[in-house]
């Protein structure tokens, strides 16, 4: 698979003390190839949820033998961090950042693009679906 793929991802925490839920969609040439939806087995916060979604979405791409991809998410903090802009000094975020960078090494090319939430509907629906399961 030498084509460029897009991965739309979203992480969410429905309430202050509940589990994180994530959703991701792998897309090629406008067509959905694979998706994931699930709850993370431990509690978190909105920042952690977005990082979890990013990392799990990269694993989804790897599972599908993708080599070149654009990660698209609606978290400015996560996207900005992966694009080399200064992050908040949150140590949780630093750990996730390190893990995301290691995961990124699985790909020949991996770019990060912020998208507004209204353009991330499919990933958001998958995260919401995890709440219902």
Say what angle helices 91-104 and 46-63 make with each other, to 10 degrees. 10
**Least confident segment among 27-31, 57-61, 75-79, 93-97:** 93-97
Name the band, by pLDDT with cuts 50, 70 and 90, for residue 2.
low
Convert 3-42 into a string of H (helix), E (strand) and C (coil).
CEEEEEEEEECCCCCCEEEEEEEEEECCEEEEEEEEEEEE
Cβ neighbours of residue 22 closer than 8 Å, sequence gap 6 or more: 9, 10, 11, 12, 36, 37, 38, 39, 40, 49, 52, 53, 56, 57, 126, 127, 130
Q: Which pair of structure tokens corresponds to residue 106?
A: 């699985």
Going by pLDDT thresholds of 50, 70 and 90, the confidence category of residue 16 is low
Q: Given a cut of 80, is residue 86 above it in pLDDT?
A: no
Provide the token pair at 121: 């509907």
Mean pLDDT score, 92-117: 93
Q: Report the pLDDT averaged over residues 124-132.
A: 88
Share of the chain above pLDDT 70, in %: 92
Q: Is the dihedral of CA 54, 32, 39, 15 positive or negative?
A: positive
**What's the pLDDT score for residue 92?**
67
Q: What pLDDT shows up at residue 1?
A: 44
Which domains are assigned to the chain? 4-63+73-132 (3.30.420.10)
Kindly tell me the burial class for residue 26, based on how many C-beta atoms sit within 10 Å of its own C-beta (0-12, 13-18, 19 or more). buried
User: Where is 97: in which H helix or E strand?
Assistant: helix 91-104
């Amino acid at each position: 698979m030498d084509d460029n793929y897009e991965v739309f991802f979203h992480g969410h925490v429905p309430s202050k003390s509940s589990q994180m839920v994530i959703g991701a969609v792998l897309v090629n040439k406008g067509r959905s190839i694979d998706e994931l939806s699930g709850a993370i087995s431990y509690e978190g916060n909105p920042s952690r949820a977005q990082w979890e979604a990013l990392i799990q979405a990269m694993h989804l791409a790897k599972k599908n033998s993708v080599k070149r991809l654009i990660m698209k998410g609606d978290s400015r903090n996560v996207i900005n961090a992966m694009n080399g802009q200064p992050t908040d000094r949150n140590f949780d975020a630093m750990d996730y950042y390190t893990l995301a960078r290691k995961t990124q090494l699985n790909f020949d090319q991996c770019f990060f693009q912020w998208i507004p939430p209204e353009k991330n509907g499919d990933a958001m629906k998958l995260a919401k679906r995890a709440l219902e399961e």
